Structure 1
Amino acid sequence: MVTVLTAGHVNWDVTLRVDNFPEPDGEAAIRLQRQSGGGSAANVATALAGLEVDTGLIGSIGDDDNGLLARRELEATGVSLDGLRIVEDADTAVKYILVDDAGEVAVLGNDGVNEAVRPDDIVPERIERATHIHLTSQRPETASRLARLASESGATVSVDPGRRLASRDYSDTIELADIIFLNDREVEAILEETYSVSEYSDRILAIKYGGDGAEVHTPTGSVHHPGFDIDPVDTTGAGDAFAAGFIATYLQTDDIERVLEFANACGALAASTEGARSAPTSSSVDALLAAQHEQ
């Protein structure tokens, strides 16, 4: 039985490590090039599988070579792909990710068919069998239907709308969410709208601050964790690893301090390794936490 379903983008990533982000009419040197699967929904799914959580994925890819590579990589992690739609004669979304020497990230890309899943494509029985649904960037109407089906079946819902929050209306989905993941820039985008953080006092709001850790606001209080002292190599996918760690631990305990510490450890380990699919295992997280507690 699938415990967690993730839904949203499935991409193929081309990562270019550069000496700097070029200015207009400028040039940067490529130090390293690598390719791997990407997309927030797929990243969280593989991270959850690495944390020994039974996980399934809802998303879409093309039937091209990049789609085949993405599918094979996901299958190798043990993620259930029953909800993955393969679109004939279509291109899988490709993202070109620039990573500078400080580990900062910039993204270029084409969307391909990573949003081919529409509300009518959703199989309700698949949602009803899950314990938790995690929603990432996708069509707002698709996310809303997934959230509503999950809520009606008694599953908990988390949402991480990502960088498109400012240009898309995810209000229906956010209203149904039990857990909302945002980074500091996305919180600012929410505050610029009609929302305020206080409006989410009846659910869990996790705000990520990158190298400065994260804080969680709950109906019973707030918790802050300063993060871990690491040398960032590539922050791509660190937020997805954080979400996976948070969800995996949240499903096991109501100790929010433990949940946040574990999530931060997952994000830190991901940021200290190349690639969006560098999500940690349970053993590597436990080792980092044990070392931290010994200090």
Structure 2
Amino acid sequence: MMLRQGAEPVIVVAGELNVDVIVSGKDVMPEWNREKMVDGFEIVLGSSSAITACALASLGADVRFIGVVGDDDFGTFCTSELQRMGVNTDHVTRLANIKTGVTLSLSTPDDRGLLTYAGSIPLLTPDYIPETLLKQAAHLHFGSYYLQDGMRPHWTALFTRLRATGISTSFDTGWDVSNEWDREGICSLLAATDLFIPSEDELLHIFAADEVAHVLSSMLPAVTGRVAVKQGSRGAIMRTLDGSTVSGKAYNLAPVDTTGAGDCFNAGIIYGYLVGQRDEELLQFANACGALSTLGIGGTGSLPTMEAVLHLQAGHEQMR
């Protein structure tokens, strides 16, 4: 694949910010009135939107982040980490008397469980999104649909307006802790979305279905974009513009930590899409980005680069 030459497109990520406190090991499940020893402990930049932004910057994109944090040490940490990893934070707002969100991640080599204190996470609203920045954008992405309470009623109108001016759009849902799933809101937004990027579990909960294939073939509303469903160690599946589906196999790597793998997959889908990849080629690029992220601790511990992706694709077998 030949990548487009010249200036990189501006990608705007509008999203939540929080720190991840990661406790890692083979057995990290707490037990009441018991103490356990674990293998690792890290405090790192968290949030789906932020990890995707950092992975996009690592791939070479010009990324501008819009978000809010508390006026506290964790807020400083979030913005400093974004800047360190090449993400522009001119439009991250610090809010007085607010605590920055925190997620406790209990992580094993195979999976993870999350406990989150919301803090500043749901406080982004359209008031914080400058029109001058949107006019520079080629693409707008957000993660964590269910956590961003302040933006949830506004995404559809914003996406519709952006697409009318030629700006492409994407979003990821994350888990709905309220277990309501807002199928109506998701379906409305799909009509204005170029790339919908849920996990398999999320998609099946949104549409109350047992099989991804059934959702992709007959349960989606009239969508105008692609739907890429992350399936962990089984890779990913995509519904294309003509309604057909293509699959991409996962890469056979030994994971260190799966935190942020889906968010790096998101970055791969977005970046690949903007440089002209489509369908199976696009899925494989995104799968490589997700796989590389599992080789370090935390969502930004092993960010994909173009060199690493191309090396992985050339030299490693995918899972059968």
TM-score, normalised to structure 2, is 0.85
Per-residue Cα deviation, 1:226-273 (whole angstroms, up to 9, x for no partner): 111111221110000001011111111143222111100010111232
Q: Which residue of 2 aligns with 1:160?
A: 172
Distance 1:294 1:270, change over 3 A: closer
Q: Which residue of 2 aligns with 1:130?
A: 137
Cα distance between partner residues in 1 of 2:100 and 2:10: 27
Distance 1:2 1:71, change over 3 A: farther
Q: CA deviation at 1:21?
A: 3.9
Counterpart of 1:54 (choices 52, 58, 62) is: 62
Question: Which stretch has the larger CA shift, 246-255 or 60-69?
Answer: 246-255
Query: Where in structure 2 are the equivalents of 1:204-223 lying within 5 Å?
Result: 204-220=226-242, 221-223=244-246
Query: Where in structure 2 are the equivalents of 1:9-158 lying within 5 Å?
Result: 9-22=16-29, 25=32, 27-100=35-108, 102-137=109-144, 138-139=148-149, 140-158=152-170
Counterpart residue type for residue 267 of structure 1: G
Q: Which residue of 1 aligns with 2:316?
A: 292
Could you tell me whether the CA contact under 8 Å between 1:150 and 1:156 is conserved in 2?
yes
Aligned residues between the structures: 293
SS at match of 1:177: coil
SS at match of 1:192: coil
Cα distance between partner residues in 2 of 1:294 and 1:133: 31
Q: CA deviation at 1:24?
A: 5.0
Cα distance between partner residues in 2 of 1:254 and 1:226: 17
Q: CA deviation at 1:23?
A: 6.1
Distance 1:254 1:262, change over 3 A: closer
Question: Which stretch has the larger CA shift, 279-288 or 14-23?
Answer: 14-23
Cα distance between partner residues in 1 of 2:231 and 2:104: 24
Distance 1:231 1:254, change over 3 A: closer
Q: Which residue of 1 aligns with 2:248?
A: 225
Cα distance between partner residues in 2 of 1:294 and 1:215: 15
Counterpart residue type for residue 52 of structure 2: V
Q: CA deviation at 1:22?
A: 2.6
Counterpart of 1:270 (choices 293, 296, 299) is: 293
- The answer for unaligned runs of 5 or more in structure 2 is 1-7
Could you tell me whether the CA contact under 8 Å between 1:159 and 1:174 is conserved in 2?
no
Per-residue Cα deviation, 1:68-125 (whole angstroms, up to 9, x for no partner): 111111111221112212111221101111112x331111120111222113332223
Could you tell me whether the CA contact under 8 Å between 1:8 and 1:115 is conserved in 2?
no
Cα distance between partner residues in 1 of 2:192 and 2:318: 40
RMSD of Structure 2 on Structure 1 (CA): 2.3
Select the structure that is richer in helix.
Answer: 1
SS at match of 2:121: coil
Counterpart of 1:188 (choices 204, 213, 221) is: 204
SS at match of 1:115: helix
Counterpart of 1:257 (choices 259, 280, 292) is: 280
Q: Which residue of 1 aligns with 2:192?
A: 176
SS at match of 1:243: helix
Per-residue Cα deviation, 1:180-234 (whole angstroms, up to 9, x for no partner): 11111111112218x9433355420101110110011112332111111111221
- The answer for unaligned runs of 5 or more in structure 1 is none
Cα distance between partner residues in 1 of 2:253 and 2:307: 18
